[in-house]
Amino acid sequence: MNGFDTIFLFKQKDGEWTSEPLEWHNRGFLFGDGLFETMVFRKNKIRFSGDHELRLLESADILGLDRTGISSIQEIEKKLNRDFPNSTGLRVRWNIYRSGQGKYSPLEHFTDETLQIEAYKNPDILKVNSFVSEKIRVGTALWSNCKTLNSLTYVMANHERINKKMDEVILLSYEGLVSEAGSSNIFWVKDNVYFTPSLKCNCIAGVGRKQIIRKLTEQGIEIIEGEFLPVELIKADKIFTSNVTGVSYIQKIGDWEFDTDPDQFIVDVFD
C-alpha cells in the first residue's frame, strides 16, 4: 500500500466490512447527512481513540442519529489489525450517515458506515504563505463544532487557497472572529501565553486541539480560549495549526512573519 492507494470498505447488514457498497444514492451522498472522523492508526491502535469515539457519539446525538448500531472503536481497530498487520501507519476516515432514503425529511434515524483507508503521511511542519479569507466564513449552527459530511465551507476555502497559490487559509466566523484554518484548528503564542479560538467561534471541536489544550494545562502553561479579532494574529510571536495528524507552523500572513521554531513538546503530543 503506497501513499496513492485508497481502500473503501462498507459495513454490511451482517456486520461484515466489504468493498461492495450497500447503495450509492444514500443520504450521505445526497444530503451530506452524517458525520466523519479522520483517525491515525499506528502501533496497532487508533491514536486518541477514546476522544474520537466520544466526539462522534456526541455529534450523533446532535444530529439525531440512533447511536445504538454504530461500531465501537475496538471493532474498527480489530478490523485494521486483521487486514493490515504490517502497517507502519494508516489514515482512516470513518464515515457515519443516516440510513434510508426520503428527501430532506428523514424516514429513519439508523446509521450506515464506511471506512476510507490510505497510508499515513506526516503533515508538513512548515506552511510558508497564508492569508485570511475575505470570501468564506464559518457559519453558526447547532452542529458547527461537529465534523459533518457537509464540508462545502472547507472545500471552497481550500479552492480559494489553491487559486491564490497559498499554503494555508485562515477562516473567520460571520462575526469576523478568528475561527480555524482550512482543515485544522489554529493556535498562536504571544509572550509565552497560548491562544486558540473558543468553540463559540464555530470551529471544529478538533481531537488534536483537545490534546494540545490538555498538554498545556498539564504543563501549567497558560492557554486562553476566547473570541479574537484577526488583528491578534499579526501580534503573535508564533502561529501553528493542528489536526489529528499533527501540527504545522505558519511562517507568514501577508507581509507579517512569525517564528517557526517548533515547540517540541507540542509536536510530541502526536508521536
139 and 193 inside one domain: yes
Within-domain flag for 95:
yes
Burial of 21 (0-12, 13-18, 19+ CB in 10 A): middle
- Which residue type occupies 134? E
Q: Verify that 91 and 132 share a domain, yes or no.
A: no
User: pLDDT of the chain along its 271 residues, tens only?
Assistant: 455 489 999 999 889 999 988 888 899 999 999 999 999 999 999 999 999 999 999 999 999 999 999 999 999 999 999 999 989 999 999 999 999 988 999 999 999 999 999 999 999 999 999 999 999 999 999 999 999 999 999 999 999 999 999 999 999 999 999 999 999 999 999 999 999 999 999 999 999 999 999 999 999 999 999 999 999 999 999 999 999 999 999 999 999 999 999 999 999 999 8
Q: What is the pLDDT of residue 226?
A: 98
* Domain-embedded: residue 24: yes
Same domain, 231 and 137: yes
Q: How far apart are CA 101 and CA 147, in angstroms?
A: 22
Q: Is residue 264 part of a domain?
A: yes
Residues 180 and 265 in one domain: yes
Cβ proximity of 118 and 94 under 8 Å: no
Residue 242 and residue 187: Cα distance in Å, rounded? 8
Residues 131 and 264 in one domain: yes
Q: How many CB atoms lie within 10 A of CB 110?
A: 14
Do 176 and 262 belong to one domain?
A: yes
Domain annotation covers residue 155: yes
- What is the C-alpha to C-alpha distance for residues 65 and 97, in angstroms, rounded to an integer? 8
Q: Pick from 95, 119, 143: which residue ends a domain?
A: 119
113 and 45, same structural domain?
yes
CA distances from 102 to 10, 109, 155 (A): 21, 11, 26
Write the secondary structure of 101-123 as one string of H (helix), E (strand) and C (coil): CCCCCCCCCCEEEEEEEEECCCC
What whole-number distance in Å separates Cα of residue 25 and Cα of residue 92? 22
Tell whether 81 is covered by a domain.
yes
Q: Which helix (H) or strand (E) holds 226?
A: strand 223-226
Report which DSSP code applies to 44. T
Q: Is the pTM of this model over 0.85?
A: yes
Among residues 61, 95, 119, the one where a domain terminates is 119
Same domain for 54 and 130, yes or no, is no
pLDDT at 3: 52
Does one domain contain both 109 and 138?
no
111 and 198 inside one domain: no
Distance CA 31, CA 49 (A): 28
Residue 161 in any domain: the answer is: yes
Across the chain, how many H-helices and E-strands are there?
A: 7, 15
Residue 30 sits in a domain whose CATH number is: 3.30.470.10
- CB distance 251 to 128 below 8 Å: yes
Q: At which of 119, 142, 175 does a domain end?
A: 119
Q: How many domains does the chain have?
A: 2
Lookup result for grid cell 444514492: 25
The answer to whether residues 195 and 213 touch, using CB atoms and an 8 Å cutoff, is no
Residue 226 lies in a domain: yes
Q: Is residue 1 part of a domain?
A: no
Indicate which CATH number applies to the domain containing 169: 3.20.10.10
Residues 213 and 86 in one domain: no
Residues 56 and 41 in one domain: yes
Range of the domain at 82: 6-119
